[in-house]
Amino acid sequence: MATSTWTILDRAHTALRDTAGALTAADLGRATPCSEWNVAQVLQHSAGDQLAFASAITGQDGPSENPFSPSGILAGTPTELVEPHLTATAAAFATLSESSITPTPLPPHDALPAATAAGAAALDAGVHAWDIAAATGQPSPLDDDLAAQLLPVARIIVEPLRQYGAYAPALDPRDDEGAAAALLRYLGRDPQWAPAS
């Protein structure tokens, strides 16, 4: 398991890696909080997004499939899909210092401070890990501590991305919920979402 030297990103990568590793073939077609995508498609999207971050930093090849048009057809296991992309992203971020400014694949943020970019990659991995876990009955990999670190990054990058359809409109916050629920609501997700029975 590669590490990036950015704790927030490594924690989110662990969340996505562990959630993907627990999937069975029967899980891949399940509905997710991303209403137009099933589990396999969310997995492809999240893996592709990680590789897009790596590509922006290194200039090497990005995802072969459009992360925003995932086919839902996996060539191997979920782990075989996700692991090389997480490894590439961790290696790319490991080359950046705290004072770096780095290119990103996020419109309109062509470049961001390295810490913000690492947080953006972590936000993507962590939230999609939650999507997959919610869809398949796994425990949430998004705890309040990680969510509290991700929320400030979300407030920097998400609003411009809503116009591209990357995030749904924010849901009203609630005072009786913790940081994980607050983050999910800000990203347009219902923290209580569950598959239809």
Q: What is the dihedral of CA 52, 158, 123, 49, to 10 degrees?
A: -20
Interval 1-10: pLDDT, tens: 678 889 999 9
Question: What's the CA gap between 44 and 41, in Å, rounded?
Answer: 5
Phi, psi of 103 (to 5 degrees): -65, 150
How many residues belong to the chain? 197
- Considering the chain, what is the average pLDDT of its residues? 95
pLDDT given for residue 72 in this prediction: 95
Residues paired with residue 111 on neighbouring β-strands, in sequence order:
103
For each of the domains in the chain, give its residue range(s) and CATH number, in order of start.
7-186 (1.20.120.450)
Which helix (H) or strand (E) segment holds residue 45: the answer is: helix 39-58
Entry pTM = 0.95
Q: Please compute the mean of the pLDDT values over residues 16-45 and round it to a whole number.
A: 97
DSSP string, 115-158: HHHHHHHHHHHHHHHHHHHHHHTPPPS--HHHHHHHHHHHHHHH
69 pLDDT more than 70: yes
Please name the residues in contact with 101: beta carbons below 8 A apart, sequence gap of 6 or more.
111, 112, 113, 114
pLDDT given for residue 196 in this prediction: 86
Q: Please compute the mean of the pLDDT values over residues 5-21 and round it to a whole number.
A: 97
pLDDT given for residue 138 in this prediction: 97
Interval 81-129: pLDDT, tens: 999 999 999 999 999 999 999 999 998 888 999 999 999 999 999 999 9
Q: To the nearest whole percent, how much of the chain has pLDDT over 70?
A: 99
* DSSP label of 85: H
Q: Beta strand 109-113 with 101-106: parallel, antiparallel or unpaired?
A: antiparallel
**Residue 44 — very low, low, confident or very high, per pLDDT cuts 50/70/90?**
very high
Question: What's the CA gap between 150 and 187, in Å, rounded?
Answer: 11
Interval 156-193: pLDDT, tens: 999 988 888 788 999 999 999 999 999 999 999 999 99
Question: What's the CA gap between 67 and 182, in Å, rounded?
Answer: 26
* DSSP label of 33: S
Burial class of residue 88 (count of CB atoms within 10 Å of its CB; 0-12, 13-18, 19+): buried
pLDDT given for residue 1 in this prediction: 65
Q: To the nearest whole percent, how much of the chain has pLDDT over 90?
A: 87
114-136 vs 7-21: helix crossing angle, rounded to 10:
20
